[in-house]
């Protein structure tokens, strides 16, 4: 069994520092965040360049090459609604440390991203949703099945698909939380891999509560079978929780300094 | 239906570590499969076998060893030379039994002198072992590491109690190789490697001595520890455990009753020295198939047998 895979979420154009860095083609703030996340133990880095309708292809190629050159071909998650930009990014991507991951496909308008991933021998995140939030787990699993079939028809190895159950905010959708955990368990029982934007769950909660909420949710999700997540690796409590889950599940061998690795 | 050959692939690879200098220098490690499973992938460097000698005369072991090495007299360097020329081990392990403060308590300077003379007489790599007194060993190791700078020796070993001193002097200051000793405790084996890494010692400078026992004396703990290490290093690609393993089996084998009891004590057991050799060969090959990349034996007959075993399986 593989260790839990940590995808760093902090290179995201929603952050003003990253947005202006992309606009000005200034690598320094991007490298700073990449380094912080890798030092904190991220395995993959998500690179969100926003919708990037105008110059997406050029931006994606620039950022993929720059980050991979600077950080020993770190594997990346290519995150944008612009399909051409994702394809352009994959063209210049170095696979020596892992395949590129397309972020993301869903069971609705973006289902073609599965074919895009398949055609380019990439992995993809497959969001179990069509329009908005799935009504219940019957619907979630139907979407999961649809995307799995689409992937297999396109010749994808199911191992290359990371199914996202869609984490939901606790404050406002408290009654949906157990359902999400059950969806993770069902995905896991099908032998499939999973991921998701974990910090959704603590959105809107006071800042001091968020690390605790995220850490507990990740532990419960891992116990349900979650195999990776898109998180802020600089959150120490969260990372310590993930590392301890790996220890308890026997995915890494214990040593007194395991949290320092 | 035809026979379909399956292979077991692992993600991790054991690091390569070089010992010695010049023509007789060698590497160990480099394997990404279980020991000798060359049909599964890269079997790495051939396992190495060294012979143990002591700063004390061979007669301190037994009359049989005194007889075997009588040409060398009480001169450790001559003993080392004789071993290299006559028996051609891959390396020589010089053990400082005489440094023990509860024994002869030889001075650090005396030990350094012996180590230098031995190193000058041999061309195979040198492994230096202590007296099992952590404090004294640290001092002896530091000075020997300094005196033998450039020889690329292996210091056996750094332990939890003295890894800082031994690691800093041995690997960082004088660029020798360090063995990390963990006495059949897998979590400590990993922890020591992490600590040495945090000290700044490069992975390529570390070998593990994960502990040993003579067969029949708790050896199952040794073999299960090695299994778990290989599961982590190869299977889980845990780079804090991808160090090659050296096992000084002679340190344990010659102190168990099968090797110690005289023929007068146990007339039914047969020749005493042969019993020791049998114990040594059984333990050494068991370690090699479990995961050791190098073993240390005492008797030349054991060396010959174990080397033949390795050649046949490699």
Give the model confidence (pLDDT) of A122-141 as tens digits: 999 999 999 899 999 999 99
pLDDT tens-place string over residues A99-114:
999 999 999 999 999 9
% of chain B exceeding 90 in pLDDT: 96
Is A19 within the bounds of a domain?
Answer: yes
Residue A1 has what pLDDT?
63
The closest alpha carbon to A6, from A164, A165, A243, belongs to A243
Matching residue, tokens 């700073």: A32
The count of CB pairs under 8 A between chains A and B is 31
Q: Does B191 touch chain A (CB under 8 A)?
A: yes
For the beta carbon of residue B179, count every other beta carbon within 10 angstroms. 28
| Residues facing B50 on adjacent strands | B91, B296
Q: Which residue has the higher pLDDT, A27 or A52?
A: A27
- When scoring B197, B224, B238 by the number of chain A Cβ atoms within 10 A, the one with the most, hence best to mutate, is B238
Residues of B in contact with A254 (CB under 8 A): 187, 190
Kindly list the structural domains of chain B, giving each domain's residue range(s) and its CATH number in brackets, ordered by start.
17-313 (3.20.20.20)
Is A211 within the bounds of a domain?
Answer: no
CB B56, CB B38: distance < 8 Å: no
CA distance A22 to chain B (A): 35
Is A160 within the bounds of a domain?
Answer: no
> If you count DSSP H runs as helices and E runs as strands, how many of each does chain A have, helices first?
9, 8
Is A45 within the bounds of a domain?
Answer: yes
Q: Does B204 touch chain A (CB under 8 A)?
A: no
Residues of B in contact with A253 (CB under 8 A): 186-187, 190, 228, 232, 236, 238, 241
The closest alpha carbon to A170, from A194, A136, A141, A204, belongs to A204
**Model confidence band, residue A143 (pLDDT cutoffs 50, 70, 90):** very high
The CATH number given to whatever domain includes residue A76 is 3.20.20.20
Whether B190 has a pLDDT exceeding 90, the answer reads yes
Structural domain count, chain A: 1
Closest chain B residue to the Cα of A258, Cα to Cα: B191
CA distance A242 to chain B (A): 16
CA distance B185 to chain A (A): 10
Q: Which two tokens stand for residue B46?
A: 């051939």
**Model confidence band, residue B252 (pLDDT cutoffs 50, 70, 90):** very high
Is A64 within the bounds of a domain?
Answer: yes
CB–CB contact B190 A253 (8 Å) = yes
Environment class of residue A254 by beta-carbon count within 10 Å: exposed (0-12), middle (13-18) or buried (19+)?
middle
Strands A44-48, A76-79: pairing kind: parallel
Task: With both helix axes pointing from N to C terminus, report the angle between A137-153 and A177-189 in degrees, rounded to the nearest 10.
Answer: 30
Residue A225 Rama label (left phi>0; alpha psi -120 to 50; beta): left
Is A89 within the bounds of a domain?
Answer: yes
Chain A residues 89-108 with a CB less than 8 Å from chain B? none
pLDDT tens-place string over residues A63-91:
999 999 999 999 999 999 999 999 999 99
Chain B residues 206-235 with a CB less than 8 Å from chain A? 228, 232
User: Residue A1 sits in which domain range?
Assistant: 1-98
Q: What is the DSSP letter of B89?
A: -
* Integer Rg of chain A from CA: 18
DSSP per position, A133-150: S-SSHHHHHHHHHHHHHH
CB–CB contact A260 B194 (8 Å) = yes
**Model confidence band, residue A151 (pLDDT cutoffs 50, 70, 90):** very high
The closest alpha carbon to A260, from B206, B167, B194, belongs to B194
Q: Does B173 touch chain A (CB under 8 A)?
A: no
Matching residue, tokens 């990390």: B180
Q: Residue B55 in 3-state DSSP?
A: coil
CB–CB contact A252 B228 (8 Å) = no
Environment class of residue B181 by beta-carbon count within 10 Å: exposed (0-12), middle (13-18) or buried (19+)?
buried
CB–CB contact B194 A251 (8 Å) = no
For residues B73-95, average pLDDT: 97
Whether B2 has a pLDDT exceeding 90, the answer reads no
CA distance A51 to chain B (A): 37
CB–CB contact A255 B232 (8 Å) = no
Residues of B in contact with A251 (CB under 8 A): 236
Is A8 within the bounds of a domain?
Answer: yes
CB–CB contact B238 A252 (8 Å) = yes
CA distance A256 to chain B (A): 6
Helices (H), chain B: 63-68, 76-87, 108-121, 134-147, 163-166, 186-199, 219-230, 250-253, 257-260, 272-290, 300-313
Measure CB to CB from residue A255 to each of B191, B228, B236 and give the nearest one.
Answer: B191
- When scoring B187, B230, B231, B243 by the number of chain A Cβ atoms within 10 A, the one with the most, hence best to mutate, is B187
Q: What separation in angstroms does the CA of B106 have from each of B54, B100, B111?
A: 13, 7, 7
CB B251, CB B283: distance < 8 Å: no
| Residues facing A74 on adjacent strands | none
**Model confidence band, residue A52 (pLDDT cutoffs 50, 70, 90):** confident
Whether B98 has a pLDDT exceeding 90, the answer reads yes
Q: Does B238 touch chain A (CB under 8 A)?
A: yes
Q: Does B278 touch chain A (CB under 8 A)?
A: no
Q: What separation in angstroms does the CA of B122 have from each of B50, B171, B174, B221, B299?
A: 13, 22, 20, 35, 18
């Amino acid at each position: 069994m593989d260790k839990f895979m940590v995808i760093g979420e902090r290179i995201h154009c929603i952050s003003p520092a990253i947005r202006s860095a992309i606009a000005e083609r200034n690598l320094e703030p991007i490298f700073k965040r990449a380094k912080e996340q890798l030092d904190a133990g991220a395995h993959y880095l998500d690179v969100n360049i926003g919708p990037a309708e105008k110059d997406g292809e050029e931006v994606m190629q620039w950022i993929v090459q720059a980050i991979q050159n600077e950080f020993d071909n770190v594997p990346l998650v290519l995150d944008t609604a612009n399909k051409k930009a994702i394809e352009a990014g994959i063209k210049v991507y170095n696979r020596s440390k892992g395949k590129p991951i397309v972020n993301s496909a869903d069971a609705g308008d973006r289902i073609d991203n599965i074919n895009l991933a398949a055609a380019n021998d990439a992995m993809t995140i497959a969001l179990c949703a069509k329009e908005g939030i799935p009504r219940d787990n019957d619907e979630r699993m139907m979407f999961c099945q649809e995307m799995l079939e689409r992937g297999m028809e396109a010749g994808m190895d199911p191992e290359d698909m990371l199914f996202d159950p869609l984490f939901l905010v606790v404050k406002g959708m408290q009654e949906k939380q157990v359902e999400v955990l059950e969806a993770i368990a069902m995905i896991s029982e099908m032998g499939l891999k999973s991921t998701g934007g974990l910090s959704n769950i603590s959105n809107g909660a006071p800042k001091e509560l968020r690390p605790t909420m995220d850490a507990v949710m990740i532990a419960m999700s891992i116990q349900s079978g979650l195999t990776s997540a898109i998180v802020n690796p600089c959150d120490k409590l969260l990372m310590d929780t993930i590392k301890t889950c790996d220890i308890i599940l026997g995915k890494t061998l214990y040593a007194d300094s395991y949290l320092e690795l | 239906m035809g026979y379909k050959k399956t292979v077991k692939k692992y993600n991790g690879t054991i690091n390569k570590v070089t010992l010695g200098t010049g023509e007789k220098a060698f590497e160990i490690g480099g394997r990404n499969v279980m020991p000798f499973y060359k049909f599964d992938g890269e079997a790495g460097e051939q396992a190495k076998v060294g012979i143990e000698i002591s700063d004390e005369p061979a007669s301190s072991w037994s009359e049989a060893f005194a007889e075997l090495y009588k040409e060398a007299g009480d001169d450790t360097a001559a003993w080392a030379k004789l071993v290299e020329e006559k028996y051609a081990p891959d390396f020589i392990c010089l053990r400082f039994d005489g440094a023990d403060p509860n024994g002869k308590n030889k001075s650090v300077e005396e030990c350094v002198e012996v180590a230098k003379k031995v190193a000058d007489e041999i061309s195979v790599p040198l492994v230096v072992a202590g007296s099992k007194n952590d404090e004294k060993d640290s001092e002896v190791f530091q000075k020997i590491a300094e005196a033998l700078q450039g020889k690329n020796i292996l210091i056996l070993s750094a332990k939890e109690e003295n890894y800082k001193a031994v690691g800093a002097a041995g690997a960082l200051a004088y660029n020798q190789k360090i063995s990390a000793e963990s006495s059949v405790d897998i979590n400590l084996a990993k922890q020591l490697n992490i600590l040495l890494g945090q000290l700044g010692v490069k992975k390529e400078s570390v070998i593990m001595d994960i502990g040993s026992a003579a067969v029949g004396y708790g050896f199952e703990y040794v073999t299960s520890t090695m299994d778990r290490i290989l599961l982590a290093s190869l299977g889980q690609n845990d780079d804090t455990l991808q160090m090659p393993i050296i096992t000084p089996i002679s340190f344990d084998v010659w102190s168990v009753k099968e090797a110690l009891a005289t023929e007068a004590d146990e007339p039914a057991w047969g020749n005493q020295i042969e019993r020791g050799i049998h114990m040594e060969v059984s333990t050494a090959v068991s370690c090699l198939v479990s995961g050791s990349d190098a073993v240390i034996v005492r008797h030349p007959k054991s060396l010959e047998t174990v080397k033949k075993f390795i050649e046949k399986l490699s």
